[in-house]
Amino acid sequence: MSKRVMLVVLDSCGCGGAPDAEKFGDTGANTLANTAKAVGGIDLPNLQKLGLGNIVDMQGVPPLENPAAAHGRLQESSAGKDTTVGHWELAGIVTEQPFEVYENGFPQSLIDEFVAETGRNVLANRPASGTEIIEELGPKQLETGDWIVYTSADSVFQIAAHEELIPLEELYQACKIARRLCDPYRVSRIIARPYIGEKGSFKRTYNRHDYGVPPHSPTVLDLIKENGKEMVGVGKIGDIFSEQGLTRSIRSAGNADGLAKCIEFFPQMKDGLMFVNLIDFDALYGHRRDPQGFASALREFDAILPDLLSVIGDDDLLLLTADHGNDPTHPGTDHTREHVPVIAYQPGLIGRDLGVRDGFYDMAATIAEALGLTYQGVGKSFFRELS
């Protein structure tokens, strides 16, 4: 049994091979392998030691005969390939019906209600890249004070607002209104997208806030909390689960800040789970189809990894995984349906192959068993395979 578990989600770091990728238009997608190939190879010595090269064929990260961690892949069972669905399945629940997407923008009736309740008109209302839409319509927003509302291939209602024009609290309140209005339309997340700057140099900030729907059934987070253990979310975990099951939520400003908070606060935990999302891979590089940036983010994580490992005690368990893919070499700007890696590390662990697991939910079962809890959800624990 472990005293504490840290689950780190490297957002969008898929490793290819999902058997149903064709149904999602993602045949050939492999975020980690294709990123490495696009940049002529990546040197990730610390992830290599833990067995990353044994999971996926990455240029620059060859497999090892005896890696220092157990390693394998998780295959998604849920209907979808978005952040919410992926994290929920990691926590033990399967989403059978996908959330709705709006390829032609949202119904005018919904927009009219949003305008009436917020007191500002709407620009755009169509699918768009977040960085491109503010470059296009940011000047118009500064002129009119209208919201920039847009969506994507995901089920998201996104609201962009210049921080010097529209106060953050007003933006957040508008998102809460949109959350209520969007519930009948089965929209997964409302996302506040604040930005700063001037025409030609607009830049999104880390004051982003997601307003999701709560999980449709109890998760392993609820189990941990109900048993009196600490359940700490870092990054956007609180947003993804609507704070359900958390005893503490720690916000972060990107990967480096999120990892710094893990290193600072994990040793202070007495027991329980720290659930972490590292967003930069996805938000800054995957959706923008930037393999060079994606590779740099992987190198940054790899450089910090030894410091993260240093806070993992003999009675602790570190789990590294992802929630979906977002291959920066794949057509379009959407997530990609892929397997995700799983790396399980404890000091002195024998690095065995965990194979391909039937569902992301095996992670929930493993965490519960590691913490000595009776788990009755879906999934098969691999905790005993670690020793």
145-204 pLDDT tens trace: 999 999 988 899 999 999 999 999 999 999 999 999 999 999 999 999 999 999 999 999
How far apart are alpha carbons 49 and 42 in whole angstroms? Answer: 14
CA-nearest of 192, 246, 189 to 213 is 189
How far apart are alpha carbons 251 and 235 in whole angstroms? Answer: 5
Check whether residue 206 and residue 234 sit in a common domain. no
Check whether residue 311 and residue 177 sit in a common domain. no
Helix (H, G, I), strand (E, B) or coil at 248: strand
pLDDT digits (tens, 9 = 90+) for 97-119: 889 999 899 999 999 999 999 99
Facing residues of 158 across strands?
150, 191
Check whether residue 311 and residue 381 sit in a common domain. yes
Spatial neighbors of 156 by CB under 8 A, at least 6 apart, are: 187, 188, 189, 190, 191
Could you tell me the CATH number of the domain that includes residue 347? 3.40.720.10
Total domains in the chain come to 2
Check whether residue 157 and residue 239 sit in a common domain. no
Token look-up 């957002």 returns 11
Which whole number is the average pLDDT over 237-258?
Answer: 96
Give the pLDDT score at 254: 94
Last residue of a domain, one of 163, 191, 212: 212
Does an H or E element contain 233, and which?
strand 230-234
pLDDT at residue 34 above 90? yes
Last residue of a domain, one of 212, 247, 279: 212
Token look-up 């490297």 returns 10
- Residue 176's alpha-carbon distances to 76, 158, 192, 279, in angstroms, are 30, 12, 10, 22
Last residue of a domain, one of 170, 194, 212: 212
Check whether residue 308 and residue 321 sit in a common domain. yes
Which whole number is the average pLDDT over 121-131?
Answer: 94
pTM, full prediction: 0.90
Check whether residue 348 and residue 248 sit in a common domain. yes
How far apart are alpha carbons 32 and 308 in whole angstroms? Answer: 21
Check whether residue 221 and residue 151 sit in a common domain. no
Facing residues of 320 across strands?
8, 343
Give the pLDDT score at 221: 98
